[in-house]
């Protein structure tokens, strides 16, 4: 469950202060789901955050992102920065 009490202003501040390509969300999960995520992270030598990010990305459709980018130049900029950083990470791993 996403904590909807967090203000957009606080979320924006956390995004820009920590990493402009990441937003911080607080979620409450059933303990068995938390344990599954931890195990996946351990098995793949990833963080739990990376495992959750991959799972969410699997559910997001490219056409949805393209529509949002057309509607918001700010969203388009953030999406492009993230894609560029992921490509750079991928090239460094090879």
pLDDT, tens digit, for every residue of 61-86? 888 989 999 999 999 988 888 888 88
Same domain, 29 and 43: yes
Same domain, 54 and 66: no
Same domain, 19 and 39: yes
Cα–Cα dist 44/36, whole Å: 12
Cα–Cα dist 49/46, whole Å: 8
Residue 93 confidence (pLDDT): 59
Q: Which residues in the chain land under pLDDT 50?
A: 1-17
Same domain, 47 and 84: no
Give how many domains the chain has, as a whole number. 2
Same domain, 10 and 50: yes
Residue 43 confidence (pLDDT): 98
**52 class by beta-carbon count within 10 Å (0-12 exposed, 13-18 middle, 19+ buried):** middle
Same domain, 47 and 92: no
Identify the DSSP state of 6: S
What residue numbers bound the domain in which 4 lies? Answer: 1-59
Identify the DSSP state of 56: H
Cα–Cα dist 85/78, whole Å: 11
Same domain, 35 and 52: yes
Identify the DSSP state of 21: T
Residue 71 confidence (pLDDT): 95
Same domain, 55 and 66: no
């Amino acid at each position: 469950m996403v904590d909807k009490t967090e203000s957009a202003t606080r979320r924006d501040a956390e995004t820009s202060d920590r990493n402009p390509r990441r937003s911080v969300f607080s979620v409450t999960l059933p303990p068995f789901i938390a344990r599954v995520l931890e195990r996946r992270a351990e098995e793949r030598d990833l963080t739990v955050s990376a495992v959750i990010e991959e799972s969410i990305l699997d559910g997001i459709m490219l056409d949805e992102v393209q529509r949002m980018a057309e509607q918001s130049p700010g969203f388009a900029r953030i999406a492009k920065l993230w894609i560029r950083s992921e490509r750079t990470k991928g090239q460094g791993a090879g």
